[in-house]
Amino acid sequence: MHNRKSPHDGHNFGHSQVIFWWLYRAADTKGKTIDFYLSRTRDKKAATAFFRKAMKHHGEPRTITLNGFEPSHCALRCMGMRNEFNYR
């Protein structure tokens, strides 16, 4: 015998929480994912962690293509890269 209440008897059956994760992804020239990083935040700290992880495993890339998200640009500038990336 279960003590859980059914959702049909007017009581809450459980509690759910939505948690968003941000995906940072590195791809090769063919578009194949070569590295990724999941983060609960979308900020400079998360972008820096992703770039450091990707460069540690794969070396410094020939090109980096970014969208207009400023914390990613800021993270690369703080790592010593100055306008060595493309904007998409």
Summarised one tens digit per residue, pLDDT across range 32-81 is: 999 999 999 999 999 999 999 999 999 988 888 888 889 999 999 899 88
Range of the domain at 80: 42-88
Examine residue 20 and state whether it is found in any structural domain, yes or no: no
Residue 21 confidence (pLDDT): 94
Examine residue 53 and state whether it is found in any structural domain, yes or no: yes
Examine residue 58 and state whether it is found in any structural domain, yes or no: yes
Examine residue 18 and state whether it is found in any structural domain, yes or no: no
How far is residue 54's CA from residue 70's CA, in Å, rounded to a whole number? 19
| Beta strand residue intervals within 15-62, DSSP E | 22-27, 33-39
Chain centre to alpha carbon of residue 78: 18
Examine residue 12 and state whether it is found in any structural domain, yes or no: no
Domain count across the chain? 1
Amino acid at 22: W
How far is residue 35's CA from residue 37's CA, in Å, rounded to a whole number? 7
Q: Please, which pLDDT band fits residue 16 given cuts at 50, 70 and 90?
A: confident
